[in-house]
Structure 1
């Protein structure tokens, strides 16, 4: 009988190809699924979401063991791997589907996210105001299969090499102790 406890974290921080890659290698993370959340369209497609017509954000749903990785650690990685000061944009990706948003699944996550953002602001970690929204999680729709494990399967593509690889190198350097062997 498996008594391992798990929790769910949901983050939107730009292109899910990027964000998925950062969390897959963390100790305590059991699964990362790319998908859509926060909009009005049921069962949205990538084409609909990327067109900006659904209200959904590209996001990742992380299943993790809180005994092995704390939610606050996930928040730290989330804020270290995207720009939470640009409204509806991450790099060249522009639109509400690329917004910075935390979708909490428990009241404890909401409180942790609020205090984490407050701490970042108090210490002026970012030069500009943090625009990351904190919202109660709604229905999460997994993205099409070809979006899952995208970086792991397509790491040599030009987009991956230009955008994801440098951030992965920084993650591996700065968070080595939190990564799986």
Structure 2
């Protein structure tokens, strides 16, 4: 009788331990899967963006999308266009930088007009997930924006940033004039001394910048508790601002 009881208990215990181990493995796989697919999910709660040209102090970036952005502004503000993985990440950090007036998530580097997120996600359009940064050079320089750029992504991985894989996630600086081109090249040379492997960041002239869909705009500030934001973006924000 005792033997039967022990046998039953042994079977139950074995099943319990196996279930726990399986759940642990499933948890890891589930987390990996969630992170890999998080950008394809549209969170149910998104703060509305009144206009794709809305800045901190009202409209800042003119309704000029679909046109070349290498223009001279009359208010002294300047543009920068950067790509380095998920545009949520770059936007989330740069929106908090003093001297940055506005940040728009969008697509740069391709040629087809009006690209959609679904099209860019195929990796066949030539576009990269990018951010258009409007900044006040009297408060933050282009070089300082680049310094931050190197700290919030890995410029040595080609067509990949963590779970985000494909040419749409490549590292790139899209310059708007010769001064930005020279500064980007100089910055890369300086950064290369900090990396044991070659930096693969592209330095290319900016073409047409297309804003991403509304649900991508201000994503981090609207959804700080979203899983991808907590796991991926918040550490980048903390890295930049704790270092200051």
Q: What is the CA-CA distance between 1:116 and the residue it aligns to?
A: 0.7
Tell which deviates more after alignment, 77-86 or 165-174. 165-174
Report the counterpart of residue 51 of structure 1 in structure 2. Answer: 122
Q: What is the CA-CA distance between 1:126 and the residue it aligns to?
A: 1.4
Q: What is the CA-CA distance between 1:96 and the residue it aligns to?
A: 0.3
Report the counterpart of residue 84 of structure 1 in structure 2. Answer: 155
Q: What is the CA-CA distance between 1:4 and the residue it aligns to?
A: 3.8
Q: What is the CA-CA distance between 1:97 and the residue it aligns to?
A: 0.2
Consecutive unaligned residues in structure 2, runs of 5 or more: 1-73
Q: What is the CA-CA distance between 1:53 and the residue it aligns to?
A: 2.2
Q: 1:27, 1:165 → 2: CA distance?
A: 18
1:86–1:131 CA contact under 8 A, matched in 2: yes
1:4–1:65 CA contact under 8 A, matched in 2: no
Report the counterpart of residue 178 of structure 1 in structure 2. Answer: none
Q: 1:120, 1:166 → 2: CA distance?
A: 21
Q: Secondary structure at the match of 1:34?
A: strand
Q: Which residue among 176, 183, 190 is the counterpart of 1:119? A: 190
Q: What is the CA-CA distance between 1:134 and the residue it aligns to?
A: 0.2
| Cα RMSD for the two superposed structures | 0.9
Q: Which residue among 196, 218, 224 is the counterpart of 1:155? A: 224
Report the counterpart of residue 179 of structure 1 in structure 2. Answer: none
1:32–1:61 CA contact under 8 A, matched in 2: yes
Q: 2:187, 2:241 → 1: CA distance?
A: 22
CA deviations on 1:102-153 (whole Å, 9 max, x unpaired) are: 00011100000001111112xx211211000100000000000110000001
Runs of 4+ aligned residues of structure 1 deviating over 6 Å after TM superposition are none
> Is residue 2:175 matched to residue 1:108?
no
Give me the TM-score of the superposition, normalised by structure 2: 0.69
Bigger Cα Rg: 2
CA deviations on 1:59-117 (whole Å, 9 max, x unpaired) are: 00000111111000000001111000000000010000000000001110000000111
Q: Which has the higher contact order (CA 8 A, sep 6+)?
A: 1
Q: 1:71, 1:41 → 2: CA distance?
A: 28
1:31–1:64 CA contact under 8 A, matched in 2: yes
Q: Secondary structure at the match of 1:44?
A: coil
> Is residue 2:232 matched to residue 1:134?
no
Q: Secondary structure at the match of 1:35?
A: strand
May I ask how many residue pairs the two structures share in their alignment?
171
Consecutive unaligned residues in structure 1, runs of 5 or more: 176-181
